[in-house]
Amino acid sequence: MAKIELQHTQYEALGGYMFVIPVPFSKYHKDMLAHCKELLEYQNGHMVIHPRFNKLITALSTAIADEWSLDKKAISHDDLLDAFRLFIQFWW
């Protein structure tokens, strides 16, 4: 029981530092796609994706966009691509 109480107090301390930032895809999807492309391609890219993330690499390589809007039906693993775009949104 003491171990559970100790873990509970540690999680309470974490709660003061955690933030959730809502991002509406309907408003920012074009900006997020442009930012993703810039980070991956500009001057040979600013990031590298480890080969073990093969589903993410597949999602990125099968992505088709028309005027910065993704064609979700043509993308494999589109949820991973959305999660990746959210993850890198605040990277400069």
Residue 41 lies in a domain: yes
Which has the minimum average pLDDT: 15-19, 49-53, 61-65, 75-79?
A: 15-19
- pTM attached to this predicted model: 0.72
**Residue 39 counted as domain residue:** yes
Q: Using 50, 70 and 90 to split pLDDT, how confident is the model at 73?
A: confident
pLDDT (tens digit per residue) in 48-58 = 899 999 999 99
65-74: long-range pairs with CB below 8 Å, 24+ = 65/33, 67/30, 68/29, 68/30, 68/33, 68/34, 69/29, 69/30, 69/33, 70/29, 70/33
Mean pLDDT lowest among 10-14, 19-23, 81-85, 87-91: 10-14
Domain boundaries, position 36:
23-87
Domain contains 61: yes
pLDDT, tens only, 3-45: 434 444 555 555 566 577 778 889 999 999 999 999 888 878 8
Is residue 9 domain-resident? Answer: no
Residue 13 domain-assigned? no
Q: Are 90 and 36 in contact (CB under 8 A)?
A: no
Domain count, the chain: 1
Is residue 74 a part of any domain in this protein?
yes
